[in-house]
């Protein structure tokens, strides 16, 4: 299956410090969710930063739709169809929800398309529609997270990089976000997902990769990783949880 995004043999790090990623290879096919698992500091967010052009790799290649885009910055990566929802909060608090969401579509030229995408994200995230003219800083943390997610969907991206999308969300909002991830996958989007709740993420994902020492240590179909007792102990918090309500494809 052709991959929508491929990171090949990536070495990357910050400043003069030792590399965080040391020969990391990962790819995400269209219409699949790949979940990155690993402890705090393993380099999961760093993988996503490299994939969206926020951090230039020291070596290695990045391919989007088979085209070499290594070294391109975040703006060009977004124009190539790669959207990144950052870890933590990144809404502009002094701007309205509308302004925040519309920023996500600033590369779109066609007014009808902007209107269509706006209607889509309002339907998916009702809070975005309800608080459209509010200052984003007045929303709760979980509501702000949904505004960020809505912003990233404005461009109808081919690849979505999601860094801990459920962080700070209540169970209902978490379910909304996971449902949306599944919906994107089913519409053909390639999703690279990092989640603190690794078990729930793997239950939703098609493939999983375990990061260790800056490389993909183990990878395989998500159900296989979920069933691995050693992985369960190390990364998934022991025994399986109750099944979630989100149907697998």
User: Which of 40, 111, 230, 243 forms a contact with ligand ATP (CB under 6 A)?
Assistant: 40
Least CB distance to Mg ion at residue 131 (A): 27
| Residue 232 CB-density burial (10 A; 0-12 exposed, 13-18 middle, 19+ buried) | middle
* Residue 230 · residue 57 · CB < 8 Å: no
Give 21-24's long-range contacts (Cβ < 8 A, gap of 24+). 21/46, 21/47, 21/50, 21/57, 21/214, 21/215, 22/213, 22/214, 22/215, 23/60, 23/214, 23/215, 24/60, 24/211, 24/214, 24/215, 24/216
45 vs 176, beta carbon nearer Mg ion: 45
Least CB distance to ligand ATP at residue 171 (A): 21
121 vs 191, beta carbon nearer ligand ATP: 191
How far is the C-alpha of 221 from the C-alpha of 249, rounded, in Å?
Answer: 14
**Structural tokens at position 105:** 């579509």
Burial letters 96-116, b for 16+ CB under 10 A, else e? bbbbbbbebbeebeeeeeeee
DSSP 31: T
User: Which of 3, 27, 46, 152 forms a contact with ligand ATP (CB under 6 A)?
Assistant: 46
Least CB distance to ligand ATP at residue 36 (A): 8
Least CB distance to ligand ATP at residue 15 (A): 6
Least CB distance to ligand ATP at residue 177 (A): 17
Of Mg ion, ligand ATP, none, which one does residue 105 interact with (CB within 5 to 8 Å by kind)?
none
User: Which of 7, 12, 20, 209 forms a contact with ligand ATP (CB under 6 A)?
Assistant: 20
Q: Does 41 participate in binding ligand ATP (rule CB under 6 A)? A: yes
Q: Does 43 participate in binding ligand ATP (rule CB under 6 A)? A: yes
Stretch that binds ligand ATP, among 41-49, 126-134, 146-154, 218-226 (CB under 6 A): 41-49
Residues that bind ligand ATP (CB under 6 A): 14, 20, 38, 40-46, 87
């Amino acid at each position: 299956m052709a991959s929508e995004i491929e990171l090949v043999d990536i070495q990357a790090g910050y400043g003069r410090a030792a590399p965080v990623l040391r020969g990391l290879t990962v790819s995400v096919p269209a219409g699949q969710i790949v979940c990155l698992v690993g402890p705090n500091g393993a380099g999961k967010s760093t993988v996503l930063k490299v994939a969206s052009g926020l951090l230039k790799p020291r070596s290695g290649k990045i391919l989007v739709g088979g085209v070499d885009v290594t070294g391109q910055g975040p703006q060009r990566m977004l124009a190539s169809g790669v959207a990144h929802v950052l870890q933590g909060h990144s809404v502009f608090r002094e701007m309205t929800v509308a302004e925040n969401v519309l920023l996500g579509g600033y590369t779109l030229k066609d007014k009808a398309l902007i209107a269509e995408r706006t209607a889509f994200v309002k339907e998916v995230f009702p809070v975005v529609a309800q608080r459209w003219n509010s200052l984003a800083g007045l929303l709760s943390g979980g509501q702000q997270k949904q505004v960020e997610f809505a912003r990233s969907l404005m461009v109808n991206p081919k690849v979505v990089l999601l860094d801990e999308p459920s962080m700070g969300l209540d169970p209902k909002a978490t379910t909304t976000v996971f449902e949306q991830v599944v919906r994107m996958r089913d519409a053909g989007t390639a999703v690279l997902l990092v989640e603190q709740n690794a078990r729930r993420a793997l239950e939703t994902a098609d493939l999983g990769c375990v990061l260790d020492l800056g490389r993909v240590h183990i990878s395989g179909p998500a159900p296989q990783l979920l069933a691995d007792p050693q992985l369960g102990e190390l990364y998934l918090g022991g025994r399986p949880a109750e099944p979630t309500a989100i149907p697998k494809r």
